[in-house]
Amino acid sequence: MENSLKVHSFESFGTVDGPGIRYVIFVSGCHLRCKYCQNRDTWDIKSGRDIPISEIVDTILRYKSYIMPDGGVTISGGEPLLQAKDLILLFRELKTEGIHTAIDTSRHACFE
């Protein structure tokens, strides 16, 4: 079984989630339920769609000419660190392509 991320949505031309133009992946799941959260619709991990890491990488590579050289990929959410193991796999693939990566996190994660 291929590794995947539980994804809520994508933004292909983000300009506020890191340096340059960003491909932003909003993952599902967050336990904090912050009062002023901008992404309340990402809280429920069951609302996301499992997307294979290879499919995510292939999609990002189609946008590479738009996000490079000064942009990259940002993982937001929800809480990305709830899916840390698969996130590491995604970032390794992106690093081999020379793509800058960033995580927007509260650092609140429950690891198995």
* pLDDT tens readout for residues 10-51: 999 999 889 999 999 999 998 888 888 888 888 998 889 999
3-state helix, strand, coil in the chain (%, to 5): 35, 25, 40
Phi, psi of 51 (to 5 degrees): -120, 125
Residue 74 scores a pLDDT above 80 = yes
